[in-house]
Structures are given as C-alpha cells and as structure tokens.
Amino acid sequence: MTQVTWKLKPYLEQNAITPHKLAIEAGISPPNLYTLIRGEGAKNVSRATLAKLIGALTRLTGQPVTPNDLLEVTEKPVSEEMDLQTKNWLDASAANALETLQALEQDQPPEEVAAWLEAFHKAGTPVKFNQKTRRFKGQL
C-alpha cells in the first residue's frame, strides 16, 4: 500500500522557519498550515496549496524547493504475519470458493458448511471495501 506523509515539520526546523512566517508568506491560514505540519492533511491538499508552500519556501530559503522536499512516498507492505487460513480465503476466487470453503473447514460438520454456503448464496452481490473512500461497494 502506498502512503504519502508530510515532511514539512522537519523541513521548517532544518531551515529555521516559523509556521507563522510561512503562513504569512504563503497566504495560507495558520490552522490549515498547522494541520499540514502535524501531518494530518496530506490527502486533502490541493495543488494550489502545494504550489503556495513551494513558492513561499523557495522565497524564504533562497533555495529551490520541490514536492520531494515536503512529501515522502513509502510503500507499506501487506502484513506478512497473515495466518495461512486468512491468506487462503483472500486468494480464493468466486469460482473456487466452494472448494476452498470445504478444504478450509474440513473439521466442521457438513451441515454447518452447507448452511454457510446457503447464507452466502442468499447474500447476493459480493461486497468490496474501498480503502480510498472508506466505503463498501455492493450490497450489505
């Protein structure tokens, strides 16, 4: 999973720039700037705001500033501690879900497995969770 985090606080500290001074120079409200400094607003920043920050910091430091100076992009690996059963379920496709269920639940009574399958069939459309919008897509 790709993550974007702000490096604005260390950048300001390294260059001895106060948030107040940057807010005035960039024309950004102090509450909005402090949100970015705390790293809370990385996903809601417009290109115009980023351009204001870069322009203001370039003027204040006398050095060229790029988005790489202010943002850090990292890849966060999917948990490697995932247990085998969870991994098998995630790897199962709709076509072989029945076989996967039967293989994973061999220790369960056949009647219980049949009840689970019936519940799955009644559920209808599969549901997917969209990490970006933090919402479910499909029927619940």
Contact 33, 26 (CB under 8 A): yes
Domain with residue 59: its CATH number is 1.10.260.40
| pTM of structure | 0.54
Token code pair at residue 39:
């790293």
How far apart, in whole angstroms, are the C-alpha atoms of residue 10 and residue 96?
A: 50
On the question of pLDDT at 120 being above 60, the answer is yes
Query: With bands split at pLDDT 50, 70 and 90, how would you rate the model's confidence at 52?
Result: very high
How far apart, in whole angstroms, are the C-alpha atoms of residue 15 and residue 60?
A: 9
* Neighbouring residues of 79: CB distance < 8 A, sequence distance ≥ 6: none
Query: With bands split at pLDDT 50, 70 and 90, how would you rate the model's confidence at 124?
Result: low
Radius of gyration of the chain from Cα atoms?
A: 25
Q: What is the pLDDT of residue 95?
A: 47
Contact 26, 17 (CB under 8 A): no
Residues 63 and 121 in one domain: no
On the question of pLDDT at 139 being above 90, the answer is no
What is the DSSP code (8-state) at residue 125?
Answer: S
User: Which residue segment(s) compose the domain that 55 sits in?
Assistant: 2-75
Domain-terminating residue out of 26, 54, 75: 75
Domain-terminating residue out of 39, 56, 75: 75
- What is the overall mean pLDDT for the chain? 78
Residues 89 and 115 in one domain: yes
